[in-house]
Amino acid sequence: MSAFEDIQEKIKSSWANITGELRKKVFGSNNENIDLLVDTFYKLEPPQRNAVIGGGIAVLGLVVFSFLALYFSQINALNRDLNRRFDALYEIKELKADYLREDKRFQNLSDALGGAGSVRIKPYFEKIANEQGVQISDISESRAPLPADNPLGAKFQEVKADVRLSKISIPRLLNFIVEIEKGEGFVRVQDIDIRAVGTKLFFEVTLKARGLAPAG
- Give tens-digit pLDDT for 34-63: 666 656 655 666 776 666 667 777 777 787
* E strand or H helix at 51: helix 46-117
Mean pLDDT of 73-102: 84
User: By mean pLDDT, which of 23-27, 59-63, 94-98, 187-191 is the weakest?
Assistant: 23-27
Q: What is the DSSP letter of 85?
A: H
Share of the chain above pLDDT 90, in %: 9
Q: Is 141 left (phi over 0), alpha (psi -120 to 50) or beta?
A: beta
Higher-confidence residue of 102 and 195: namely 195
The closest alpha carbon to 159, from 128, 185, 194, 129, belongs to 185
Instruction: Work out the mean pLDDT of the chain and round it to a whole number.
Output: 77
Specify the pLDDT at position 117.
53
Q: Within a domain: residue 176?
A: yes
Q: What is the Cα–Cα distance from 55 to 116, expressed in whole angstroms?
A: 90
Q: What is the Cα–Cα distance from 204 to 168, expressed in whole angstroms?
A: 7
Higher-confidence residue of 156 and 137: namely 137
Q: Within a domain: residue 130?
A: yes
What confidence category does residue 205 fall into, taking pLDDT thresholds of 50, 70 and 90? very high
Q: Within a domain: residue 113?
A: no
Q: What is the Cα–Cα distance from 92 to 98, expressed in whole angstroms?
A: 10
Q: What is the DSSP letter of 148?
A: T
Residues 203/195, Cβ–Cβ less than 8 Å:
yes
Q: Within a domain: residue 10?
A: no
Q: Within a domain: residue 11?
A: no
The closest alpha carbon to 155, from 189, 116, 181, 97, belongs to 116
Domain housing 187 = 119-214
Q: What single-letter amino acid sits at 116?
A: A
Specify the number of domains making up the chain: 1
CATH number of the domain where residue 169 is located: 3.30.70.60
Q: What is the Cα–Cα distance from 135 to 66, expressed in whole angstroms?
A: 94
What confidence category does residue 186 fall into, taking pLDDT thresholds of 50, 70 and 90? confident
- Give tens-digit pLDDT for 90-115: 888 888 888 888 777 767 766 666 55
Higher-confidence residue of 144 and 8: namely 144
pTM: 0.49
Higher-confidence residue of 213 and 119: namely 213
Specify the pLDDT at position 40.
66
Share of the chain above pLDDT 70, in %: 67
Q: Within a domain: residue 192?
A: yes
Alpha carbon of residue 46 to chain centroid: 73
Q: Within a domain: residue 63?
A: no
